[in-house]
Amino acid sequence: MKKRKVILLTILSISTVILVVVGSYWGTKVMALPPVEDIPEEILRTEMITIARSPIDGKPLTAAEYAELQAHLQTSPPPKLNAQIREQVFLLKLRKALLQIFPFLGI
């Protein structure tokens, strides 16, 4: 009876080890390969970008139109705000900062 238990324990141990080893190697080939539709990074790094989006309205532009728009934006100064509106924006930002520090001041 004791020999039978030893043999069963040995068979169970060996089969468990074999199952663990086979199970651990089973999915490694699949996990190691990238998906078929995935473009390699080396190709993506050398790809030339020929389309862009306008920073103003988000419309698609060609490379020439984008360069022209960037040159135009750098040469023309941004529109100036009215002094009263600029002061109101400053006060609102100051109020927001103070409410973050002193939240009990808010109504």
Task: Say which amino acid occupies 99.
Answer: L
Does 50 share its domain with 96?
Answer: yes
Q: How many residues does the chain have?
A: 107
Dihedral sign of CA atoms 19, 20, 26, 29 in order: negative
Residue 107: inside a domain, yes or no? no
* Predicted TM-score (pTM) of this structure: 0.33
Give tens-digit pLDDT for 48-106.
Answer: 777 888 888 888 988 888 889 888 888 877 678 888 999 999 999 999 999 998 888 77
Q: What is the spatial distance between Cα 92 and Cα 107, in angstroms, rounded to a whole number?
A: 15
Look up the domain containing 66 and give its range.
Answer: 41-102
Q: Are residues 56 and 83 in the same domain?
A: yes
In a domain, 92, yes or no: yes
Radius of gyration (Cα) for the chain, nearest Å? 34
Q: Are residues 58 and 85 in the same domain?
A: yes
Of residues 40, 41, 64, the one with CA closest to residue 51:
64
* Domain total of the chain: 2
